[in-house]
Amino acid sequence: MNVLEERILKDGVVKEGNVLKVDSFLNHQCDVELFDAMAKEWAKRFAGKQINKILTIEASGIGMACIAAKQFHCSVVFAKKYKSINIDGDMYISQVESFTHKETNQVIVSKKFLNEDDRVLIIDDFLANGAALQGLISIVNQAGGRVEGIGIAIEKGFQPGGKFIRNLGYQLESLAIVDDMDWKTGTITLRKQD
Ligand code: G4P
């Protein structure tokens, strides 16, 4: 069991509606030592890939992406979310529908920071339905770059995003996969990983 899995079992809180609160260490208060261990694990899993950029999405992905970037010796670009915006030609844009929040955001990255030379590692904190990830993949494709891999902190294995993204052929590495949660008992069931 890796350190993130141990921490989820120790400090994760299950809320009604299949929501896992991890705000004491991951996406509100941030345990940077934990982020460092996660970064090292991603570095191991993506060893041998020629990654020259990390792409994430605001807000919660930014912290862990920056710590991961120290392992890959590259910079981080984070996609920005807007409810609606008049875009000029200098931006890559994709629509991302959040099933959790029932809203659509436009996700944008400046053309200055992503191009056809980029070999990209996408990092994010949660993978549920995969909408955010599909938006980020679309942005890399628009830039003519290549997605070398996808690193996720917590995948909700009972939602369709992980299967969908793996079926597209991407190397998707989720450090913890939650297969089941029960808010009444507080039980969290993690998928066994090697
Ligand atoms: P998807 O991108 O995989 O399709 O996910 P979905 O629309 O269902 O989720 C939207 C937002 O909700 C994302 O954050 C995601 O990180 C978060 N989320 C999904 N499931 C959980 C959960 O069980 N617990 C917690 N804590 N968050 C969850 P976001 O809107 O992009 O917010 P942020 O990055 O600005 O914090």
- Cβ(161) to ligand 1 under 6 A? yes
Percent of the chain with pLDDT over 70: 100
- Ligand 1 pocket mutation, candidates 98, 102, 103, 166, criterion most atoms within 8 A of CB: 98
The answer to whether the beta carbons of residues 152 and 27 sit under 8 Å apart is: no
User: pLDDT for 79-93, tens place per residue?
Assistant: 999 987 777 789 999
pLDDT at position 102:
82
Report the predicted TM-score, pTM, of the whole model to 2 decimal places. 0.96
Please work out whether the CB of residue 127 comes within 6 Å of at least one atom of ligand 1.
Answer: yes
In the reported structure, the alpha carbon of residue 126 is separated from the centroid of ligand 1 by a whole-number distance in angstroms of 6
**Average pLDDT for 66-88:** 91
Write out pLDDT tens, residues 99-111. 777 889 999 999 9
In this predicted model, which residue has the larger pLDDT, 136 or 99? 136
Instruction: Check residue 86 and give its pLDDT.
Output: 73
Residues 6+ apart with CB under 8 A from 44: none
> Does residue 19's CB lie within 6 angstroms of at least one atom of ligand 1?
yes
Q: 24 CB under 6 A from ligand 1?
A: no
Number of Cα atoms under 13 Å in the Cβ half of residue 145? 26
C-alpha closest to that of 124 among 86, 90, 178, 174: 174
For ligand 1, atom 15, which residue shows the shortest CA distance?
Answer: 126
Instruction: Report whether residue 20 contacts ligand 1, using a CB cutoff of 6 Å.
Output: yes
Q: Is the CB of 123 under 6 A from ligand 1?
A: no
For ligand 1, say whether the CB of 132 is within 6 Å of any of its atoms: yes
Cβ-based neighbours of 6, under 8 Å, separated by 6 or more = none
